[in-house]
Amino acid sequence: MKLESQTLPNFESVTSPYASVGVDLTFIPEFKESLQDKATFFFKITFTDWERKKGQTKPENQRASFFAGRYAAKEALIKALDGYRLFQKPDLSVNYSEIEIRNDDYGRPYFRFYGNFETYLNNLKPNSIRLSISHTGDYAFSEVLLIF
């Protein structure tokens, strides 16, 4: 069945306030493999110095989960940022190491931003960015909610 264009909702007009959600699921064993590959540049280009140092303080059996969860969070954020731009050309070139995930004193994750990515977000002026990261078995999952 072919849908006529006038029957499709108008996704191009977004009114304020609005929300955008991004999710990502990563396979932890891939991160474990990468951690064992001494020649990989993946961690240097994907994580901040702080994240790499923090990951090295984790017990060896938790490092892959740590990095997989943070990678999922970065991917979920990018998806949330792109989600509200449905049917529009992408306007963001991402440097993953400009996105950092830390935890507050109670273990709740939050974002810190640097460089061009920080400037991009400051121009967007989101009202709120919420982050959740979960791990189970071989998977890390993250969800990001942006409110504009």
Binding-site residues sit at 24, 75
Helix (H, G, I), strand (E, B) or coil at 135: strand
Q: Of 134, 148, 116, which Cα lies nearest the Cα of 23? A: 134
User: In Å, what is the CA distance from 68 to each residue of 11, 19, 46?
Assistant: 32, 25, 11
Sign for the pseudo-dihedral over CA of 31, 133, 96, 82: positive
Provide the total of helices (H) and of strands (E) in the chain, helices listed first.
5, 5
Distance from C-alpha of 123 to C-alpha of 2, rounded to nearest angstrom: 39
Annotated binding-site members for Mg(2+): 24, 75
Task: Take residue 12 and report the two structure tokens written for it.
Answer: 């191009």
